[in-house]
Amino acid sequence: MHPFRKAVEAEDHAAIEALLAENVVFTSPVAFKPYPGKAITASILRGVSRVFTDFHYVRETAGADGRDHALVFKAKVGDREIDGCDFLHFDEDGKIDDLMVMVRPMSAAQALAAAMGAEFERITREATEAMGA
């Protein structure tokens, strides 16, 4: 089991954050622009853990060189079932420098967008506090 998967499934946010490179870029399934930086990415992932219920990975696939990984998941957002995939890329130091999430169906993506929108003030505040620490 991949360490990121293990940390996410355990809801171990410190372990998740430790796996992120300082220059990680998070690409959201529901936002146009990517989010650069460890603080905002970690905050977004904490927000997602508050929004998703019944989250679990169902499959993982690794690239031949070990620097690319795909983790397929299922979860719920409110009463909507969501299928998704976390696409991870690792830098030379083994840290995640690119994290892109894709989800389906559209109704679940819309529910996710609304739920994360409601969380975003808190997410931004947490990221700002982390950068100041």
pLDDT in tens, 57-72: 999 999 988 899 999 9
| Whole-number Å distance between alpha carbons of 105 and 47 | 20
pTM of the model: 0.92
pLDDT band (50, 70, 90) for residue 133: low
Residue 1 has pLDDT above 90, yes or no: no
How does pLDDT run across 73-130, given as a tens digit for each residue?
999 999 999 999 999 999 999 999 999 999 999 999 999 999 998 988 898 898 888 8
> Which residues are CB-neighbours of 130 under 8 A, at least 6 positions away?
39, 42, 43
Q: What are the start-end ranges of the E strands in the chain? A: 20-27, 35-36, 52-62, 68-77, 80-90, 96-104
Tokens coding 42: 């970690």
Tokens coding 14: 């410190």
